[in-house]
């Protein structure tokens, strides 16, 4: 059974992570999470992902993600920046704008799965250029979505991994 273990951020932060213990091995969880086409099943914002032709969960691989919130649909391009089976899987939206990652640590009863998110300097600069004076609100919206979405995503991954 899953057990929430930590929350270490406040909604104003541009980094956030949360963890859950899942009754499953680190390798099995890695295989599940690094299969990015499945991400749309768990995320409250991402509705689907697909690898570029011939790509897979390897550092340097690219994929597209489709996201949806009320009144807005958009796609992003992401590059895998960490792919170590059973330890870490991470990608950077736009290659350098926002980093999403998952780590897998064996613990009694399974694996501590941690999802992390960080708005990177290139992302802040891109939002300033794209949105001008509205950039702070846009950044706050994305930050809030990450803070709310990570616990929901972790819970959904745990349900899938544990067959619930």
Kindly state the tokens that stand for 35. 């299969």
pLDDT score of 164: 79
> What confidence tens digit (pLDDT) does each residue in 62-89 have?
999 999 989 999 999 999 999 999 999 9
pLDDT score of 1: 41
pLDDT at 21 over 70: yes
pTM for the full predicted model: 0.90
> What confidence tens digit (pLDDT) does each residue in 126-156 have?
999 999 999 999 999 999 999 999 999 999 9
pLDDT score of 95: 95
Residue 13 confidence class, pLDDT cut points 50, 70, 90: confident
pLDDT score of 59: 98
pLDDT at 101 over 50: yes
Q: Look up the CATH number of domain 3-161.
A: 3.30.530.20
> What confidence tens digit (pLDDT) does each residue in 26-76 have?
999 999 999 999 999 999 999 999 999 999 999 999 999 999 989 999 999
């Amino acid at each position: 059974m899953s057990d929430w273990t930590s929350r270490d951020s406040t909604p104003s932060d541009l980094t956030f992570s949360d963890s859950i213990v899942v009754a499953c091995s680190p390798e099995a969880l890695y295989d599940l999470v690094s299969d990015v086409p499945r991400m749309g099943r768990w995320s409250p914002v991402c509705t689907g992902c697909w690898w570029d032709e011939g790509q897979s969960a390897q550092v340097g691989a690219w994929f597209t993600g489709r996201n949806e919130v009320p009144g807005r649909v958009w796609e992003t391009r992401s590059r895998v920046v960490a792919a170590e089976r059973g330890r870490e899987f991470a990608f950077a939206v736009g290659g350098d704008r926002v980093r999403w990652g998952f780590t897998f640590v064996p613990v009694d009863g399974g694996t501590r799965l941690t999802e992390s998110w960080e708005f990177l300097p290139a992302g802040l600069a891109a939002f300033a250029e794209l949105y001008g004076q509205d950039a702070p609100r846009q950044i706050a919206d994305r930050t809030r979505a990450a803070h709310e979405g990570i616990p929901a995503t972790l819970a959904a991954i745990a349900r899938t991994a544990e067959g619930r």
